[in-house]
Amino acid sequence: MIPIGDSHKTGKLPVVTILILFINIAVFFVELTAPDIEAFFLQYAFIPANFIPTQLSTWAPIISAAFLHGGISHILFNMLFLWVFGDNVEESLGTIRFILFYLGASIAAALLQYIIEPSSAIPMIGASGAIAGILGYYLVVFPRHTIQTLLFFAGGIFVRDLPAQIFLAYWAITQFFSGFGSLVTAQDGGTAWFAHIGGLLFGVIIGLLMKQWQTSRNYSYVSPPLSYQ
């Protein structure tokens, strides 16, 4: 299933979403022109085995790695998901909070991957953890939106509108099964599934907190009862 649009158009230009998209594309072109791509990844990717939580310098690759990608399909799919889902999340959180949210999801993604595989020397790259955070938030805050989706079935390609909760629940379930399946098969390289799960859980938690805050704020606007004399 590939998302190509959603039912809710935002009321303003998603400046941060567009900025993040262009930064990722710009960094990808820097990768393509790097004289030694392996050395480039080793310098800027997140490598769990090199991470020392008490050393601030080892935190920097968590952020830089979130803007690196391993190929055309990798960046295309990440940027497609960012474009479809990011504008609604940005509108909900606001500019500054969305920036902090995106970085927070990237950090949560890397940390869970580190917790699961702390001795891994495989460089971890990609915006997938941050995108997973956006999807987790979207699932909680906008479950009634519909997602225009490309479906591949019985040799054909179909376009259908699916409820966001179905599309995103399916995506989330595949991440959990793939993550735990990678532990059983002792997979080397490939997809950092637990980074996806870490970002997703971060997004869900922030989404729940945001809904609770919005509910309490709405209650605070209710006028107090009047006292007649």
Q: What is the pTM of this model?
A: 0.86
Contact predicate 111/46, CB 8 Å = no
The model's pLDDT over 188-211, given as tens digits with 9 standing for 90+, comes to: 555 677 888 899 999 999 999 998
Residue 16 near residue 95 (C-beta atoms within 8 A) = yes
- 3 state DSSP class of 124: strand
Q: CATH homologous superfamily for 2-215?
A: Rhomboid-like (1.20.1540.10)
- What does the pLDDT look like over 30-83, one tens digit per residue? 999 999 999 999 999 999 999 999 999 999 999 999 999 988 988 998 999 999
Per-residue model confidence as pLDDT tens digits over 112-170? 999 998 998 989 999 999 999 999 999 999 988 999 888 877 777 888 888 888 888 87
Say how many residues make up the chain. Answer: 229
Q: What is the pLDDT of residues 73-85, one digit of tens each?
A: 889 989 999 999 9
Domain ranges of the chain: 2-215
